[in-house]
Every structure is written in structure tokens, then in C-alpha cells.
Amino acid sequence: MTAKLYCFGESGNAYKAALTLELAGVDWEPVFVDFFNGEARAEPFKQINAMGEVPVLVDGDLTLTQSGVIQQYVVDTTGKFGGAPEDKYDVMRWVLWDNHKMSSQAGPLRFLMNFLPEDKRPQEVIKFMQGRLNAAYAVLDGHLRGRDWIVGDGMTAADLSCCSYLFYDEPFGFDRADWPNIDAWLTRISEVPGWKHPYDLMQRGLPA
Amino acid sequence: MTAKLYCFGESGNAYKAALTLELAGVDWEPVFVDFFNGEARAEPFKQINAMGEVPVLVDGDLTLTQSGVIQQYVVDTTGKFGGAPEDKYDVMRWVLWDNHKMSSQAGPLRFLMNFLPEDKRPQEVIKFMQGRLNAAYAVLDGHLRGRDWIVGDGMTAADLSCCSYLFYDEPFGFDRADWPNIDAWLTRISEVPGWKHPYDLMQRGLPA
């Protein structure tokens, strides 16, 4: 049975799940959630996920939310992207770090800078979040110096989590040219057979 | 051998790890990191954790960072706080949600409102983060309606992650009286034998 991923193109968190499903070869299809018109925070969707968020994966009787959980499910069911057994905690470490320090800032910041009307963009908040994100980019770029992948010698859920927002073109203060190790790593990921840009995996909520 | 947890009292993220170790009965001791004087971001500590963060657990040859990873290690080694096997993904879901939506806001917000000089507190940022946190409290409070614990019928890493910042007394816009289900749940946790307040588990960096 085809697994259904509730998602929309602009969500980097949904992209983490979608790209992991896609590259692992899982039989899945996207179900569009009209986030920008409030669908994720309205009652019918909250019956699926009370957190009011995408992504949600429905696979038969199983409903899973949080991108890191969906990634772990893909690891458990396909054997892919979990890394070596001894690297389990290290993969989890970077997925948690991404959720805590990177995506939790990059998602809202990109929203504020691109999807809010220009006269409603809170400049002090934007500057604060960019500062926090620059510290996160420095950690990631430093870690990738001399490494092809975040953990071990192949792509894992850690890469597929940390890369997600960095593939979007809308400006949010991230410039690949500033971070050469991140830049090379993003190129490496995009050259993996089957890789797709978020807007080629999931329907967008807003016009291009 | 006694495991060492690098931490300081004001860190809710360190508290998640410390409380989990303590309640699981692990032989551990705190190692104070002088965060407020920059120790976590200086080179000697970065040799332990390049992310420049507490908590870090050193147990023999193993070094683990990220509170959620340390919690998972406690679950794996003691068999405690993992919940029922079928609840594995749900426990992980709430740990990730806490990292992404709650602690990632509550930690910096509490810092801005309490540990920065009064004339340096960015009011627009504070208001923005409080708004995001209120949405998170609503999700948690709604989920706890009619439930004793976040997942299943006993305390898990999900509870021990989500509760952490909410036990601190410094004001950051969270009032237990506003959230009756969270309030009752925090009382429930604090009545578990062996529970301790963060400042009774770890040395504070700033005077009381």
C-alpha cells in the first residue's frame, strides 16, 4: 500500500521526510496540506496531528509525525540511512541538533522573510534569528571540514535532516558561498541518484 | 565507573539529562561548565563537544551529546523511561517536538529575560518567542487533558524532556495557573520519588 505523506513544498521539515522516503525507494505519495490558508491548524487536520504540523506519514494503520520519527521509521523498515550500528547515537545527535538549533530557526526565519507581507516583517526578530543561525552554520561547516558526510562514510538521516532548509532558494540570510564545506556537502547530496529539489517532490502552497 | 555529565544548573537541556540519569538510578556526577563566562564556547570544551553546548555525558570511552541522545542511552542501558515497545516512535515524537518547538524557544527566551542586562533585552524578540511558546503550551496542555503522562501509562523520556524548562522559577512568560493540565502533570512528576529541582542536581552558574 502506498504510504501517504501530508506535506507542502515550502516546508523544510516535510522535505526531510519526503527526501528520505524518496531516496530509500519507499512507495509513497504526497498529500497536499494548504498550510498558508490555515489547513494545518484547523480541526480536520488536527485529528490527524494535534501538533498542527506537517509532515505526517500515514502507512496503513500507522500514523507518524515529526520528521525525525518518519526518518527513523524509514531506517527501521528499509535498513537505509541509519549508518553503522555504532553510529546510532551520533546520527540521532545531529538530527536532534538540527531540530533544536537549525530548523527551528531556519523555518520561521524563512517564513518571516518571504511569506509575510513586507511591512509585517519583524526586523529585530529576523536579525536575532540570523545571528543564531550563523552560529549553527559555523558548527556544521566546521564539522564537515575534511568529511564527506556528517556521520561515518555514507549519507544518513543526519545529512537528510540538516540539509533540508539549505536547499531552498528564497533568501533567509544563508549563502552557500560563505560556507565552503556546507556548499560542497550540499552539492554531494544533490548528486545522489534520485535526489530532488523540494518543489519537485511536493506541491507548493504559494505561487513560484 | 561514575559517568560524568557536563552541565550547569540554569540549562534546561542539561536538566533533561540530569533528571533522567538521577531517576533511572545511574551512577553519575555533574561536572560544572561555566557557561556564563564563555566556557562552553571556548576551545578546551569544544574538544569535548564541537557544538559548544551542554549537556555532554562521558561514560567510560563513550561521549554523548544532545539531551535526547543521553536520554536514549539511559533507556537503552537501564531499560527505564522508554515506554512500551510499541510506543517507541511516540516517545521520540515528543522528544523531537520539545527540542524543535518548546526548548529551542524556552531556553533562549529565559536567557534574554533573566540573564541579559535589563537594557539589552530585545523586546520584539521576547514577544515573538512568547507567542510561539504559547502555541506550544496549548499543544502540550491539550494533549495532557485526561492523561497522566505524555505517552502510555508511565513516565518516559518524553515527560522528562518536555518538563525541563517548566520547572524553573525565573519568569519567561510561563504561568502554571494558565495551563491546568500541564500544572497537574508537573506536580505529578515532582512527586516521583527521587525527583529534584535543577538547582539541587547541578551547580548554578549565577548567584541565586
Residues of chain A with Cβ-Cβ distance to B130 below 8 Å are: none
What distance in Å separates residue A97's CA from the closest CA in chain B?
Answer: 7
Q: Which of B56, B68, B115, B186 is nearest to A95 (CA)?
A: B68
Residues A92 and A186 in one domain: yes
Residues A74 and A90 in one domain: no
Interface test with B, best of A41, A67, A93, A137 (most B CBs within 10 A): A93
Residues A76 and A96 in one domain: no
Amino acid at A125: V
Residues B21 and B114 in one domain: no
Q: Which residue has the cell 491546568?
A: B180
How far is it, in rounded angstroms, from Cα B85 to Cα B89? 9
pLDDT category at A166 given cuts 50, 70, 90 is very high
Question: Quick check: is A207 in a domain?
Answer: no
Question: Which residue of chain B has the CA closest to A122?
Answer: B124
Q: Write out residues 111-130 of A within 8 Å (CB-CB) of B.
A: 122-125, 128
Element containing residue B67 per DSSP (H, E): helix B67-78
Question: Quick check: is B175 in a domain?
Answer: yes
The order of strands in the sheet holding B3-7 is B28-32, B3-7, B56-59, B62-65
Residues A77 and A90 in one domain: no
Residues A20 and A43 in one domain: yes
A–B CB contacts, 8 A cutoff, strictly below: 84
How far is it, in rounded angstroms, from Cα B39 to Cα B156? 31
Residues A73 and A108 in one domain: no
At B67-109, the pLDDT tens digits run 999 999 999 999 999 999 999 999 999 999 999 999 999 999 9
Question: Quick check: is B206 in a domain?
Answer: no
How far is it, in rounded angstroms, from Cα B91 to Cα A105? 23
Interchain contact, A132 vs B99, CB within 8 Å: no
Q: Which of B115, B29, B14 is nearest to B70 (CA)?
A: B14
Contact A110, A15 (CB under 8 A): no
Contact A54, A40 (CB under 8 A): yes
Element containing residue B57 per DSSP (H, E): strand B56-59
At B169-194, the pLDDT tens digits run 999 999 999 999 999 999 999 999 99
Residues of chain B with Cβ-Cβ distance to A124 below 8 Å are: 122-125
Interchain contact, B100 vs A66, CB within 8 Å: yes
At A100-148, the pLDDT tens digits run 999 999 999 999 999 999 999 999 999 999 999 999 999 999 999 999 9
Interchain contact, A100 vs B99, CB within 8 Å: yes
Q: Is B20 on the interface with A (CB under 8 A)?
A: no
- The 10 Å Cβ neighbour count of residue A46 is 15
ipTM for this prediction: 0.98
Question: Quick check: is B207 in a domain?
Answer: no
Find the CATH number of the domain harbouring A179.
Answer: 1.20.1050.10
Residues A98 and A184 in one domain: yes
Interchain contact, A122 vs B132, CB within 8 Å: no
Question: Quick check: is B139 in a domain?
Answer: yes
For residue B90, the enclosing domain spans: 85-190
DSSP per residue over A91-143, as a string?
HHHHHHHIIIIIHHHHHHHHHHHHTS-GGG--HHHHHHHHHHHHHHHHHHHHH
Q: Is B180 on the interface with A (CB under 8 A)?
A: no
Residues A69 and A94 in one domain: no
Residues of chain A with Cβ-Cβ distance to B12 below 8 Å are: none
Q: Write out residues 27-56 of B within 8 Å (CB-CB) of A.
A: 50-52
At A23-81, the pLDDT tens digits run 999 999 999 999 999 999 999 999 999 999 999 999 999 999 999 999 999 999 999 99
Nine-digit cell at A158?
A: 543526519
Q: Is the pLDDT of residue A14 over 90?
A: yes
Find the CATH number of the domain harbouring A26.
Answer: 3.40.30.10
Q: Write out residues 67-86 of B within 8 Å (CB-CB) of A.
A: 67-69, 72-73
> Number of structural domains, chain B?
2
Residues A60 and A94 in one domain: no
A171 class by beta-carbon count within 10 Å (0-12 exposed, 13-18 middle, 19+ buried): exposed
Interchain contact, A108 vs B132, CB within 8 Å: yes
Question: Quick check: is A30 in a domain?
Answer: yes
What distance in Å separates residue A122's CA from the closest CA in chain B?
Answer: 8
Residues A37 and A68 in one domain: yes
Question: Quick check: is A177 in a domain?
Answer: yes
Q: Is the pLDDT of residue A208 over 90?
A: no
How far is it, in rounded angstroms, from Cα B63 to Cα A143? 16
What distance in Å separates residue B127's CA from the closest CA in chain A?
Answer: 9
How far is it, in rounded angstroms, from Cα B138 to Cα A51? 9
The order of strands in the sheet holding A28-32 is A28-32, A3-7, A56-59, A62-65
Question: Quick check: is A155 in a domain?
Answer: yes
Residues A102 and A156 in one domain: yes
